Amino acid sequence: MKNIITNPSIKSPLTSGYLFKKSGKKRKSIEAVITLTSLIDAFVIIVLYLVICNSPTESNVEIDDSIMLPQAQHYSQLDDSLVVTYRDNQFSIDGNVIREENLSAEISRLSASFFSTLKKESAIILQADENIDFHKLQPFLVASAHAGIKSVKFAVHQQE
Amino acid sequence: MSSARKHIEFELNLIPFIDMLSACLSFLLLTAVWSYIGSVDTHQAIGSESTSGANNPPSLSMQIEKDNSLTIDLKDIKTQHRHFVISSAQGKVDWVKTEKLVQSVKKQFPQIETSVVMAKPGVSYGNTIKAVDTLKKNEFKSVGISPI
């Protein structure tokens, strides 16, 4: 196998890729070199920009794909908060079903431990299907108020 | 000396690097249109934070009925027209008319910044959130949900 260091007569495929030579008498004068460095720079900048812009949330909030969330145009980014899920007529936190009468105490207990580590204002996120009766969610609103949660957030999809 | 230097020159093959970047770029551009998940935020007054004794600010209350008709009331504001009713369109809430009405109210009374959404039993969660979204879009800063 030929080595480019020991055998300098081998032409680099890259160099030959750069040069577009027109056959003829004035061949040397019309050589064109495409500089790939600037192209790579542009690509890197676009990729970094897209990577930063495409990260939809800063949080590790798990959203249940089986729930059809309501749509909204005016929404804010989800951040790390306690998530309450309403599905099959039951409230649950982290997959553990919680009875309505214990909801306030559980929210209070979990939010105390959750927000003491994050040192943020207490907030809670509700994810529920858009087609359910809103009145079924009222125990959650009452329980979160009893638990001293000031900010209630409703998980939504971006409206198309 | 110069010939020895020439021998150790080599070129980095940039083609695979460009291929990789192109693949990343295509992937990111395609996935950029995927829908995002966000949240509609509401704040609730707790215990002693209620506004008892204070002058009530001008506000708008939006009530959604079970038949998807909608009632808008203006409170604590001097106007003759305080009560608006929007009938449902084909059994659904007429969001086009609602949006127009909310826009005109906000244009006429920019001092109204407080609004409350009230959903009667049987109203869907989706419609309640849509009502909150409509008000937030029209620059009502303080939007609340009130149980009936």
Q: Bridge-partner residues for A92, per DSSP?
A: A85, A97
Contacts of A137 in chain B (CB under 8 A): 125
In angstroms, what CA-CA distances link B138 with A14, A45, B112, B131?
58, 36, 11, 11
pLDDT band, very low/low/confident/very high, at A27 (cuts 50, 70, 90) = low
Listed by number, the residues of chain A in 66-105 with a beta carbon closer than 8 Å to a beta carbon of chain B are 69-78
Of A135, A3, A123, A62, whose CA–CA distance to B9 is shortest?
A3
Q: Which residue has the higher pLDDT, A32 or B3?
A: A32
| B95 C-beta neighbours (distance < 10 Å), count | 17
CB contact under 8 A, A4 and B44: no
ipTM over 0.85: no
Where residue B94 falls among pLDDT bands split at 50, 70, 90?
very high
Mean pLDDT of A137-157: 87
